[in-house]
């Protein structure tokens, strides 16, 4: 490149091996039509001189486009979380597109396993060079991973993980540990003996792994201690506002038999529903903690109805997923398989510094 003395070129390898640069190219790219003797000699010299290709020149000369497909939930008005990973994906693509990368994004409905399957099969049909997928519906995803492996299509999981698969990377948060963080915050914030309510907004079509895992971590925090805290779980299955209100009244309301509930842990981003309830009923002195920097959650945080939000770094999830695939397959770098993102604790005082992306 610019420092000719320190950068090994294909022509240096060719000269050393006594062959042409065309032959070196054939060896590097496994194009065949090279004798074993010549091939071994070239490989040895490549290693000796630690040849590193000039990615700029390579991309300029190559006609090849690395086509990446992404399969994520569509955001819409009921699933705002997924706007941020999409934005992260798009920014990452903007940074790397001049290396010959194309990105096609496919969406499925968060609560609709059939749309997940349909879109996944469409993607398999176009045989991309790489895939990013949020495998919320784990069984259906698993079935298709074999096909992807046969087609030699590398896969990165984003936000949800499936253990023991051949994905090259997972990018997301350690959900169980995030529950422990929530527990720590509530434990510190409450007086001795004050009890806690866990609120789970459950989807009936599956994909609740995160919620269960967070609760598990939360409860695990209190296990080893001789804690005198009572912890009660309430599962909310309905989407009807009136029904939700009834359940919350029973769980944390002033009519509740658990009238000493002073801390509430909501295991997903719908914490705004609880905040709304507290506001409506003028319930004070309850510490409320939930997930994700949705606009409505941020409003309640700024107005002291939510005390802490735990951010999953959704933008970074999108960004880092695409960068993992790029670094692995184009830059040929080693990548870490499980890329856990920070478990960010957000308060009214630091929220502004998490909104850049």
Partner DNA sequence: TTAATTTCCGTGTGCGCACACGGAAATATT
Partner DNA sequence: AATATTTCCGTGTGCGCACACGGAAATTAA
Q: Nearest approach, Cβ of 148 to a second copy (angstroms)?
A: 24
Q: How far apart are CA 152 and CA 124, in angstroms?
A: 11
Instruction: Tell me how far, at minimum, the Cβ of 352 lies from DNA, in Å.
Output: 39
Q: Which does 350 bind (CB under 5 to 8 A by kind): DNA, a second copy, none?
A: a second copy
Q: 61, 125, 224, 349: which one contacts DNA (CB under 7 A)?
A: 61
Handedness of CA 175, 180, 181, 183 (dihedral sign): positive
Q: Does 223 bind DNA (CB under 7 A)?
A: no
Q: Considering the complex, state which of residue 56 and residue 114 has its C-beta at the smaller distance from DNA.
A: 56
Alpha-carbon distance of 334 to 324, in angstroms, equals 9
Task: Give the DSSP H or E segment for 12.
Answer: helix 10-17
DSSP string covering 48-70: HTT----HHHHHHH----EEEEE
Q: Which residue among 10, 156, 181, 231 contacts a second copy (CB under 8 A)?
A: 181
| Element housing 145 (H / E) | helix 138-150
**Contact between 229 and 193 (Cβ < 8 Å):** yes
The Cβ-side half-sphere exposure at 64, using a 13 Å CA radius, reads: 8
334 binds a second copy (CB under 8 A): no
Select the binding partner of residue 246 from DNA, a second copy, none (C-beta < 5 to 8 A, by kind): none
Of 20, 62, 228, 239, the one binding a second copy by CB under 8 A: 62
For residues 272 and 80, is the Cβ–Cβ distance under 8 A? no
20, 47, 73, 265, 314 from 80: Cα distances, Å: 56, 49, 10, 20, 11
In angstroms, what is the minimal distance from the CB of 82 to a second copy? Answer: 21
Interface ranges with a second copy (CB under 8 A): 1-3, 54-57, 59-60, 62-65, 98-100, 173-174, 177-178, 180-181, 183-185, 188-189, 191, 221, 287, 307, 340-345, 347-350, 352-354
Interface ranges with DNA (CB under 7 A): 1, 4, 7, 9-11, 18-23, 25-26, 28-29, 32-39, 53-54, 57-58, 60-64
């Amino acid at each position: 490149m610019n420092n000719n003395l320190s950068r090994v070129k294909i022509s240096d390898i060719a000269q050393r091996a006594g062959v042409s640069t065309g032959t070196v190219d054939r060896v590097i790219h496994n194009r065949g039509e090279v004798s074993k003797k010549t091939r071994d000699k070239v490989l040895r010299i490549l290693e000796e001189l630690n040849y590193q290709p000039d990615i700029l020149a390579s991309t300029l000369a190559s006609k090849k486009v690395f086509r990446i497909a992404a399969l994520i939930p569509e955001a819409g008005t009921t699933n705002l979380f997924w706007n941020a990973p999409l934005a992260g994906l798009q920014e990452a693509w903007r940074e790397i597109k001049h290396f010959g990368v194309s990105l096609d994004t496919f969406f499925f409905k968060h609560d609709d396993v059939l749309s997940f399957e349909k879109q996944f099969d469409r993607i398999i049909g176009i045989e991309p060079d790489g895939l990013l997928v949020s495998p919320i519906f784990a069984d259906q995803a698993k079935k298709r991973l074999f096909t992807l492996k046969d087609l030699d299509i590398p896969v990165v999981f984003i936000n949800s993980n499936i253990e023991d698969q051949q994905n090259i990377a997972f990018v997301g948060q350690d959900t169980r540990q995030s529950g422990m963080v929530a527990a720590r915050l509530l434990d510190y914030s409450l007086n001795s003996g004050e009890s806690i309510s866990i609120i789970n907004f459950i989807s009936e079509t599956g994909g609740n792994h995160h919620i269960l895992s967070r609760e598990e971590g939360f409860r695990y925090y209190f296990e080893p201690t001789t804690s005198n805290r009572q912890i009660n779980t309430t599962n909310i299955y309905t989407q009807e506002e009136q029904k939700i209100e009834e359940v919350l009244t029973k769980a944390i309301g002033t009519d509740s038999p658990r009238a000493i509930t002073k801390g509430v842990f909501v295991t997903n981003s719908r914490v705004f529903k609880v905040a709304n309830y507290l506001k409506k009923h003028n319930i004070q002195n309850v510490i409320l903690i939930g997930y994700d920097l949705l606009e409505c959650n941020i409003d309640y945080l700024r107005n002291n109805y939510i005390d802490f939000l735990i951010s999953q770094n959704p933008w970074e999830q999108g960004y880092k997923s695409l960068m993992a695939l790029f670094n692995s397959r184009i830059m040929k770098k080693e990548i870490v398989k499980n890329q856990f993102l920070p478990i960010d604790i957000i308060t009214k005082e630091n929220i502004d510094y998490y909104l850049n992306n």
